[in-house]
Structure 1
Amino acid sequence: MNIKITKAETLKAKPADEENLGFGKYYTDHMFMMDWSVDEGWHNAQIIPYGPIPMDPASMVLHYAQETFEGLKAYRNGDDILIFRPEMNALRMQKSNERLCMAEVPEEIFVEAVEELVRYEKDWIPTSEGTSLYIRPFCFATEAAVGVHPATSYKFMVILSPVGQYYPEGVNPVKIFVEDEYVRAVVGGTGFAKCGGNYAASIIGQVKAQDAGYTQVLWLDGVHRKYVEEVGTMNVMFVVDGEILTPPLEGSVLPGITRDSCIRILRDWGYTVKETHIDINDLMEWTKTGKLQEAFGTGTAAVISPIGELNYKGNEQIINNFKTGPITHKLYETLTGIQWGNLEDPYGWVRKI
């Protein structure tokens, strides 16, 4: 691409305390922006100062929620800048955009936009242990119209944020509330797409969980209301009698890139990984009897997050004495080691830019 660069006149002061970055609190000096129209396709690629986006009040994203996004991270290892599997994010965004009848962003444009912006803002990449530069690509409808139809114009943008741990517990076990009143998605809907509407619908469950003293919510399927699907911000896996169980990808669960990476690693270690329906009643019984040995969430933001407690209909069950299990720990150390460039990458997942 021919990317036009406009440098910010005044640069921000970078966070002085990398140990307390939080998640999504700070943003770099610049952002990437590109337009799409029926007549011109993708054009006008720019890196410009971070700031407000001028929008028409009738922009269709504000009325009909044609919007998708992605999340990935950049890491610094000495003089090297590393990004983890960006092509997978590009392909997932294409599928999300296809589902929402939006213009698809070609993989080469997606990856180049991410790499060029990260390279330009490389001084913002934190270096403390457990920190990274979070990358948020997103796409939305800009046509000004209040009739329901696929928009005829879109923007593709990328913003960056230096971050620490997603959960305040860090890599310690979190408490999960099982939602049995509301549902997140159904097969045939947009559950597999990474779009804002899914997350808007899930906030009420998250609020319920937090009000009850829990970190996150575990969603059940929308038909039977008993099969485990995913945590609000993560896919989920369970170690049951030495085997790893995780919900299948059938259209209502997000196809997580961290999930895919974990399955590959676990199978290479010799574990049996079953993508199968998991009845919440069985899961609670397995927790009670000790058959459930470990549980953990997988996602870009948290990477691997051990689960130490489940609450379903007031039945509270502690998992593995509320301690991080050996498989969970090893998986976290291995995956983050590959991502940060501290361990060999036998899969070719890490891109050096």
Structure 2
Amino acid sequence: MKLICLTVLIISGATYSRSEQYEVVGPAGTVFALAGEDVILPCSVKLGISVVDMRVEWFRSDLNDSELVHLYEDHDDRNTNQSQSYRGRTKLNHEELQRGNASLKLSSVQISDEGRYKCFIQSKSWSGDTTVTFIVGVVGRPPVITVDGFDYTGRLRLQCESEGWYPEPDLEWVVTGGGRLSSETAETHRNENGFSVKHTISIYEMYRKIHCRIRLKNHMLETLIITTSNMFQLWRKSAIQFPVIVVLGGFTAVLIAVFIHKYRENRQLQTENRRIHHERDELLQSQKIPKVITHLETDMVNATLGEDSNACLIQTRHKKEVIYDETEP
């Protein structure tokens, strides 16, 4: 019985040892490269066992139709069925295969290369694989710092923005000496050209040199702005002059309002006077009509009676004129 148990333990140990030797390992984390660069996708057999006599296959595991990226078999590269997008851009180091290193070199990486890759190694009696996650980055435009005026406490507002990044970058404000400042507002947007970021901050006069840095993995772009005391002195003068300007502006506005009001009143009075004069003229014109008629009637009577009746006509005419005069205002 002891002999049987010992035999089982020996066989299990040998199997475990063999599986341990043929374990396929990949990178500890995500592989990152910038568009246009060359990259190495790590894959190897633990303990450095040679894979020269084995089959090494690289393919995309994140696509519905797995794309063949690179194939090594029977001591040579067999890329007849390789995906068209990888033609001429992949390579295995045959010398490294002897040391169990089946890492793939991918040249001139593109955004479309981003994804999950599987490294599959197979011998006549064993097989194993590992997955490599690959991210392709794009460095955007250098950050631009703009001055956005002062807040009510006299702090200078600065804005830093940049666009065209992928994936989303990190933006930070740094003062000379290494100190970091927290952004007051942060905006991030994404479109077909990548990520754009915009951060704002307010600083006191004590900060002379401010750096805006944008990081993407190990890549960084930064812009420096140097503030001067003249900027803050200008704000102090403006802070003193502003209330005076406001008071003067308010006083001027009141004067203008009074002038406009008086002008409108005068216009209304002139209009009313013209209307009264017009009505009076019409009334006077209407009262002159009877006088004209009276004169016409007198002339007709004179023509009718002749020279002998002058005294009577004169008396009648005088009487009518007296009556008319009593009615005049």
Fold in common (TM above 0.5): no
Give the TM bin, normalised by the shorter chain: under 0.3
Q: Higher helix proportion, which one?
A: 2
TM-score (norm 1): 0.18
TM-score (norm 2): 0.19
**Greater C-alpha Rg:** 2
Highest RCO, 1 vs 2 (Cα 8 Å, sep ≥ 6): 1
